[in-house]
């Protein structure tokens, strides 16, 4: 009996090439987003309560994502006509227009992305992938079907990744409201004894291995 092999893109991997049908037409992912950040997120099924709250939450933050030059792409294994009818329902009943594309996935696509977890039924789990402008996988999160996501955390993660890339720094827990250093960022570890000593003079430090600064 042939077994389905569940793959998932690991951090730093090239995101798998996908030719998909969406509510905005045919797309090549990640090729169509070359040079941009994007968040691809899956949901178990259209016309379900938790997924509806998630799509409304993503749409309400869509402008904030776009200000980061980051696009949103939804996905489930429902067909395109189901997606279209669902977003029409959301617009009519909730007065929210979903502006980002939704992929009509299939088992092959879902398996490439590790979205089908046999222990959780036949629907896709709530997966989140953050992809950078080079098509590299930078963050992955998997939620079970019964728990909705926190979109502010996903938005925070994209901001943090961009700041880390652009400034060569690390980002503390809960940034920009960290309990120790608030909105400051962390200097990468010293590699030599000379560098360790100089850090104490150059930056604010708890010790030479924990130095931080304002952006």
| C-beta separation of 124 from 43 below 8 A | yes
- For the entire predicted model, the pTM comes to 0.89
- Alpha-carbon 71 to chain mean position: 10
pLDDT value for 6:
57
Q: Kindly list the catalytic residues.
A: 51
- Quote the CA–CA distance of 138 and 10 in Å, as a whole number: 8
Q: Domain segments of the chain: what residues?
A: 18-148, 168-215
- In this structure, what DSSP letter does residue 17 have? P
Task: Count, in order, helices (H) and strands (E) of the chain.
Answer: 6, 10
Q: What does R_g of the chain's alpha carbons equal in angstroms?
A: 20
| C-beta separation of 170 from 181 below 8 A | no
pLDDT value for 9:
83
pLDDT value for 1:
35
pLDDT value for 48:
93
Of the candidates 129, 161, 150, 160, which has an alpha carbon nearest to the alpha carbon of residue 53? Answer: 150
Intervals of the chain under pLDDT 70: 1-6, 107, 110, 114-124
- Quote the CA–CA distance of 46 and 83 in Å, as a whole number: 7
Q: Which residues contact 49 (CB under 8 A, 6 or more apart)?
A: none
- CATH architecture entry for 168-215: 2-Layer Sandwich (3.30)
Region label for 50, one of left (φ > 0), alpha (ψ between -120 and 50) or beta (otherwise): alpha
- CATH architecture entry for 18-148: 3-Layer(aba) Sandwich (3.40)
Query: What tokens appear for 22 in the block?
Result: 């969406």
Greatest alpha-carbon span in the chain: 65
- Quote the CA–CA distance of 181 and 214 in Å, as a whole number: 9
Q: How many CB atoms lie within 10 A of CB 110?
A: 23
pLDDT value for 2:
42
- Quote the CA–CA distance of 210 and 40 in Å, as a whole number: 34
pLDDT value for 114:
67
pLDDT value for 124:
62
- In this structure, what DSSP letter does residue 119 have? G
């Amino acid at each position: 009996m042939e077994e389905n092999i569940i793959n998932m893109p690991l951090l730093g991997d090239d995101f798998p090439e996908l030719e998909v049908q969406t509510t905005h037409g045919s797309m090549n992912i990640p090729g169509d987003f070359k040079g941009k950040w994007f968040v691809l997120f899956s949901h178990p099924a259209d016309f379900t309560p938790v997924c509806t709250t998630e799509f409304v939450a993503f749409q309400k933050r869509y402008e904030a994502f776009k200000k980061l030059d980051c696009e949103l792409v939804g996905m489930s294994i429902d067909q395109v006509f189901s997606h279209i009818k669902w977003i029409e329902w959301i617009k009519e009943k909730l007065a929210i227009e979903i502006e980002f594309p939704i992929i009509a996935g299939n088992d092959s696509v879902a398996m490439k992305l590790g979205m089908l977890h046999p222990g959780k039924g036949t629907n896709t789990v709530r997966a989140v992938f953050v992809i950078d402008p080079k098509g590299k996988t930078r963050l992955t999160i998997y939620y079970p079907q019964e728990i909705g996501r926190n979109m502010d955390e996903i938005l925070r993660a994209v901001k943090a990744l961009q700041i880390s890339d652009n400034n060569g720094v690390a980002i503390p827990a809960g940034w920009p409201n960290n309990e120790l250093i608030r909105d400051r960022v962390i200097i990468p570890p010293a590699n030599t004894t000379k560098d360790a000593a100089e850090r104490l003079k150059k930056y604010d430090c708890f010790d030479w291995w924990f130095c931080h600064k304002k952006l």
